[in-house]
């Protein structure tokens, strides 16, 4: 699995995740799981609906999500990371 990161993802990560060591560690753990098996049930991977229907998401913690786009069978682009409200705009 190849993971690419959008510019927006880098900015969101720097502001929302990097300052918090426990969350950063959890992200790294979940990223490892995702790269080995994106369908691992721990990730709670799911397709999005509505205006975000071209994207998918998986959970880092109970409230923190990664939004991504499946570019090819082996390549994904991480679009955003943050709390449910931050990434879904509610």
pLDDT at 12: 97
What confidence tens digit (pLDDT) does each residue in 1-11 have? 899 999 999 99
Which domains, from first to last, does the chain contain?
A: 2-88 (3.30.2310.20)
Judged against a pLDDT cut of 70, whether residue 90 lies above it is answered with: no
DSSP H or E segment with residue 81: strand 75-83
The more confidently predicted of residues 89 and 83 is 83
pTM for the whole structure: 0.93
Supply the Cα-derived Rg of the chain in whole angstroms: 12
Q: Are 79 and 67 contacting, i.e. CB atoms less than 8 angstroms apart? A: yes
Query: Looking at residues 71-90, what average pLDDT do you find?
Result: 92
Assigned token pair, 83: 């709390």
SS3 label, residue 36: helix
pLDDT at 36: 94
């Amino acid at each position: 699995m190849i993971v690419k990161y959008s510019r927006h993802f880098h900015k969101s990560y720097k502001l929302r995740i990097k300052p918090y060591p426990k969350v950063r560690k959890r992200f790294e753990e979940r990223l490892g799981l995702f790269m080995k098996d994106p369908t691992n049930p721990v990730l709670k991977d799911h397709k999005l609906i509505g205006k975000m229907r071209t994207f998918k998401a998986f959970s880092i913690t109970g409230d923190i999500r990664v939004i991504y786009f499946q570019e090819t069978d082996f390549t994904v682009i991480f679009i955003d990371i943050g709390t449910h409200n931050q990434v879904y705009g509610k």
